[in-house]
Structure formats: structure tokens, C-alpha cells
Structure 1
Amino acid sequence: MARLSLPACLIDGQPQHQVEVTDRGLAYGDGVFETIAIVDGVPALWQAHLNRLQAGCQQLGFSAPTQQALEQDLAALDLPDVGVLKLIATRGSGGRGYAPPDAPTPRRVVQILPPRPALEAEHSGITVRWCQTRLAAQPALAGIKHLNRLEQVLARQECQADGSAEGLMCDVKGGLVEATAGNLLIDQGKEWIFPTGVDCGVAGVMQSYLGRLADQWGINVVHRAFMPSEMNDATALLICNSLIGVVPVYAIGTQKLASSLNYERIREHLITQRLIAV
């Protein structure tokens, strides 16, 4: 196959931009996805993203794309020096109704996209809001990055309405969980808090990486429930995901937060390790 130019898309290894209308990912969100930074022509944290994709497929009960198939797709694409790799795995096509076919033929989609646009003032700190949309409790789906993102869509509409750069989302009990498009790190210097929700949220690849990094740096990591009432002007909050790395939060609405003691150190590490682009 001839190498494809950006933007490019392969569906089951073939150059296409359309899936069948019977695809269950389109009809029911029956699938999972990964969004990966391409830095110096290489997908960052590739194995961790692949592991989460495969775990999500297993949780939903269909076969995941093999690592060999996905890497063959990447070899056929012209990976840019900097960009975004998106992987989608669905159960494939099926008939009417929610019941999946007895012998599904899963479908894989590999897309190469332009680099993400920078957030305004992302290095000095962004202003976010509390979202009214809550994350529903569903233990069967908690942790995986499934295609049902309607809660995030509604939350992003809230952000668009008042111009907030991001939004903070809570679970049904009111505990802080994550941003609309990222996980959270509460930086207390020698201790980092990763908020945990009640049977909801995505197990972040970047957050997991930062947890391992904290161990190397001798920083204690605590996974616990964190209530919005705990947030004050001494709190330093970072948003993290695989595309932005880490971004400091300057304020939640009109409530200003403290500066992170570790932001610059984390960012420099991610750049040096070629996990985010400059």
C-alpha cells in the first residue's frame, strides 16, 4: 500500500473515511477509543494506550485489534513529526436491537490528525468551571475509554456557554472526579492527590504515568475522594492527559488557586522524554 499523507484514515487496514451505517460504534457507542500524541514521529506512551484499548474491548466482550494489525496500519501511514493518533475499536456491524451478534467482526479505525490547538494561557494557567453535568455511576464501564461520551458533550456545552477553557466534573455523590477531557492532579508539594469517583471516570494513561513518576521523585501519591468544598486558594490543581501533558488551573470561576510547585518540573520531564511536543 502506498504511504498516505496527512490527514489520513485507515478502516480495517484500508484507506477509507466512512464506516457502515450498521456499525455498532455509530449506533450504540459500542466500542472504545484512544487519543495519542505523536512526538518526533512516534506515538507517545504507545504500549500503555494499547493496553487500555485492549482492556476496554475485553470489558465490553469483543476481540481487540491485535498489536500487529495496528502497527501494520501505522507503518502504512505517514506519521508526522507532531500530530495526533486516534484509534477506535468497535464491535463491528450488527442488526437492529441492542443484543450483539453471536460472532461479531470487530472493526478498527486508525486516524492521523493535526496537532491539537494550544489552550489560551495554558502555561500561566487556565480558568475552568464547575460543571452541573454529573458522571453517572456504572461499575461495568468505569475506567475504560468507551465511545459513550454524552456526559462530556453536555459538560463541554456548559464550558462553551461561558467561555471556560475546561470544566470539572463530579460524581453522583458530589465528589470531584476529572475534567471533561483529562484527569486531575492536586499538587501539595510532597504529596499528590488523584481524585477518585464512585464507579465512573476514565483511568488516564498520563495520570498513571505521573503516578509512577511521583514514586521516582519520592512524592507520595494518594488516591481518594476529594470534595469541591476542600478546594481553596492554597490548592494547586493540574489537568493532565496524553495530548496536553499537564496544564495548571489558575482559577475555578472567580476562585483563584495556588501555583503548582511541580508544574515546571513535570512539563520539562515530559518534553525531555518526548511525551509531549513543545
Structure 2
Amino acid sequence: MSLSSEDIADGEGVPFDDRGLAYGDGLFETVLVRDGVATLWEAHMARLVRGGERLGIPVPSRSALDALPARAGAGLWVLKLTLTRGSGGRGYRLPDMPAPRLRWRVTPFTPSPERWWQGIRVRHCRLALGIQPRLAGLKHLNRLENVMARAEWQDPEIAEGLLCDSEGRLVEATSMNLFWQRAGRLETPGLARCGVAGTLRDALCRRLGIEEVDAGPETLESAEAVWLGNAVQGLWPVRRLDDDQGQKLADWRIGRLHRALQAEAHALLGYPCHDDDAGERDEEDEA
């Protein structure tokens, strides 16, 4: 199937009374698709099912969902699925017979290889995430906290912002999961209270035994390496960390240590692990 570079969608609008539009009552998945084949598809589907079970929203059949990645055709695309509870109910009261509404879109995608190889600058955010264990780990539609956190900076040199919960524990970045190495151990924030359990994060935790920990933001300043990653962008090594005022707290030289975890992540997504220039930089960094 040949497609133009324009977005391709299911073509049906969202009614005014849709509960996803009105209340964020729903779930979404963002999936990397290469030549019509979805990466980490089983993990995305498992998370969608978990979210549907927890929220009480019936999930479409696997046959209907499995047919969607092939709609993207050749090349690299992002498939976004949005599942809402549909319409009905009075106010916050749930409808007696929910009629879920699935919307989807595939969009051409180009990753940011310069962030893979050169690393990124990140900052802490002032906004703190609310603690709600019943929603923890889900990719639900109510993302207003992330929107407000992302509004804290406009500097294009800053790629991402890091979020803590209201009790001061590291959780995630605004749209990526967080990893670091400390005393030779790979760690990532625990997500039992809030945050999104990314599919790439979960795959790396299972594959490498990455430990889920409770840690404050000061932990990163003594880390040997820090990364951000998700199942669309891949893994970005962090080269500089700022506070919420833009003052530098720590920096790192991107070297073999960063490349090792990146290689594991990119093998799962079909991205390259390094280029010739990156290899030369690594040799210089380790000298």
C-alpha cells in the first residue's frame, strides 16, 4: 500500500460529548512502525489491555488492532491509538453501557540522531506530579501535568524536563522514562505512585535487570551516566543537567558507558547503535 507524506487517520471526528475529550477518560498508545511492522507491539497491546481493565473500558479486538500498523506502508511512521470510553453518562457518572471509541492516526516520523550521538541537555521542572497509585503506570489521556511542565521552558537547547512527585521522588521526564547508572548499577525510578510505564523501559528492565528505586533528584548529580528514552525516540544520553532556573548541576562526557545501554535499547527498536563519528568521539572521551 503506497501512502503520501500526509497524515493518515480513521477519518471520523470526535463528538462534543466524548468522555475522552471532556474528562480525559481514556487511554492512548504511541507506536513506532517500520515498513508496516510495529515495534514492541505486544508490549503496547499489553499496556492497553491493563489500562482498559483498570479503567473499566473494553478494548477492541486484537484482530482489529493488529491490522492497523500495516496501514503505514513503507518507511518509518508513528501510529497513535486513542481509546476513549465513548459518549454517555451524566457528568462524571459512567454510562451504564459504555461504547468505547477508537481513533488512530499514522504520521511519517524522522528521529533525532544528533541527540543519540551528541547527547542532550535537560532540566528539572518545578511542577510536581500528583500521587495516584490507581492510575500509576497507565498511559491515560489526562496529561495536563505534563503540558504544564513542558511550558516551563522555551529554550531549544533543552530537550526535556525531569519530574518528581509531590513527595520529592524522581519519576520521569515530560514524555520519556529516566535511567541512570550509580555505583555500577543501572536504575530507574519506581512507578508505583505515578508516572507512565514505558514499553521500552519495561523491555530494558526485563532484559538487563534494571532496578526500580525511590530516589531524590540529587541522585543524578552523582550518577556515572544518565539517559532518557521511549519507544519512539530511542535512547538519548544526557550530557548536561540544569536546575529549574537553568543553572548547571552536572555534566557528563558521552562515552562507551552511555553507548552500551543505548545499543540495548536501539536493538529493540531497529535503530542504529552508533556511527563512525560517534565512535571517534567515544575514543576521545575515554582517553
* TM interval, short-chain normalised: 0.7 to 0.9
Counterpart in 2 of 1:164?
158
Tell me the amino acid that sits aligned with residue 45 of structure 1. Answer: L
Equivalences for 1:177-216 in 2 at 5 Å? 177-188=171-182, 190-197=184-191, 199-215=193-209
**Judging changes above 3 Å, is the alpha-carbon distance between structure 1 residues 189 and 50 closer, same or farther for their aligned structure 2 residues?**
farther
Contact 1:175–1:197 (CA under 8 A) maintained in structure 2: no
Please give the per-residue CA displacement for 1:223-249, whole angstroms capped at 9, x wherever unaligned: 111111222254311001101221011
* Correspondence for 1:86 among 62, 80, 84: 80
Deviation for aligned residue 1:124: 1.6
Deviation for aligned residue 1:114: 1.7
Once residues 16 and 2 of structure 2 are traced to their aligned partners in structure 1, the CA distance between those partners, rounded to angstroms, is 27
Are 1:27 and 2:22 matched, yes or no? yes
Runs of 4+ off more than 6 Å: none
Please give the per-residue CA displacement for 1:50-70, whole angstroms capped at 9, x wherever unaligned: 010111011111201121111
Once residues 212 and 148 of structure 2 are traced to their aligned partners in structure 1, the CA distance between those partners, rounded to angstroms, is 27
Once residues 133 and 269 of structure 2 are traced to their aligned partners in structure 1, the CA distance between those partners, rounded to angstroms, is 34
Please give the per-residue CA displacement for 1:144-194, whole angstroms capped at 9, x wherever unaligned: 000000010011111326752100000111111100011111124741111
Once residues 180 and 265 of structure 2 are traced to their aligned partners in structure 1, the CA distance between those partners, rounded to angstroms, is 18
Are 1:237 and 2:231 matched, yes or no? no
**Judging changes above 3 Å, is the alpha-carbon distance between structure 1 residues 169 and 185 closer, same or farther for their aligned structure 2 residues?**
same
* Correspondence for 2:55 among 57, 60, 69: 60
Query: Any gaps of 5 or more consecutive residues in structure 1?
Result: 11-15, 216-220
Once residues 142 and 110 of structure 2 are traced to their aligned partners in structure 1, the CA distance between those partners, rounded to angstroms, is 22
Counterpart in 1 of 2:122?
128
Once residues 236 and 250 of structure 1 are traced to their aligned partners in structure 2, the CA distance between those partners, rounded to angstroms, is 9
- Identity over aligned pairs, percent: 39
**Judging changes above 3 Å, is the alpha-carbon distance between structure 1 residues 260 and 174 closer, same or farther for their aligned structure 2 residues?**
farther
**Alignment: residue pair count:** 266
Contact 2:32–2:78 (CA under 8 A) maintained in structure 1: yes
SS of structure 1 residue aligned to 2:232: coil
RMSD: 2.4
Once residues 119 and 179 of structure 1 are traced to their aligned partners in structure 2, the CA distance between those partners, rounded to angstroms, is 19
Once residues 119 and 233 of structure 1 are traced to their aligned partners in structure 2, the CA distance between those partners, rounded to angstroms, is 27
Deviation for aligned residue 1:268: 3.3
SS of structure 1 residue aligned to 2:105: strand
**Judging changes above 3 Å, is the alpha-carbon distance between structure 1 residues 230 and 265 closer, same or farther for their aligned structure 2 residues?**
closer
* Correspondence for 1:43 among 16, 38, 43: 38
Once residues 120 and 276 of structure 1 are traced to their aligned partners in structure 2, the CA distance between those partners, rounded to angstroms, is 13
Once residues 199 and 105 of structure 2 are traced to their aligned partners in structure 1, the CA distance between those partners, rounded to angstroms, is 19
Query: Any gaps of 5 or more consecutive residues in structure 2?
Result: 243-247, 274-287
SS of structure 2 residue aligned to 1:48: helix
Once residues 235 and 121 of structure 2 are traced to their aligned partners in structure 1, the CA distance between those partners, rounded to angstroms, is 14
Contact 1:204–1:241 (CA under 8 A) maintained in structure 2: yes
Once residues 243 and 207 of structure 1 are traced to their aligned partners in structure 2, the CA distance between those partners, rounded to angstroms, is 12
**Judging changes above 3 Å, is the alpha-carbon distance between structure 1 residues 3 and 66 closer, same or farther for their aligned structure 2 residues?**
farther
* Correspondence for 1:224 among 196, 210, 213: 213
Tell me the amino acid that sits aligned with residue 187 of structure 1. Answer: Q
Deviation for aligned residue 1:41: 2.8
Once residues 106 and 4 of structure 1 are traced to their aligned partners in structure 2, the CA distance between those partners, rounded to angstroms, is 28
Contact 1:126–1:251 (CA under 8 A) maintained in structure 2: yes
Counterpart in 1 of 2:9?
9
Tell me the amino acid that sits aligned with residue 171 of structure 1. Answer: D
Once residues 111 and 211 of structure 2 are traced to their aligned partners in structure 1, the CA distance between those partners, rounded to angstroms, is 32
Deviation for aligned residue 1:35: 0.6
**Judging changes above 3 Å, is the alpha-carbon distance between structure 1 residues 119 and 98 closer, same or farther for their aligned structure 2 residues?**
farther
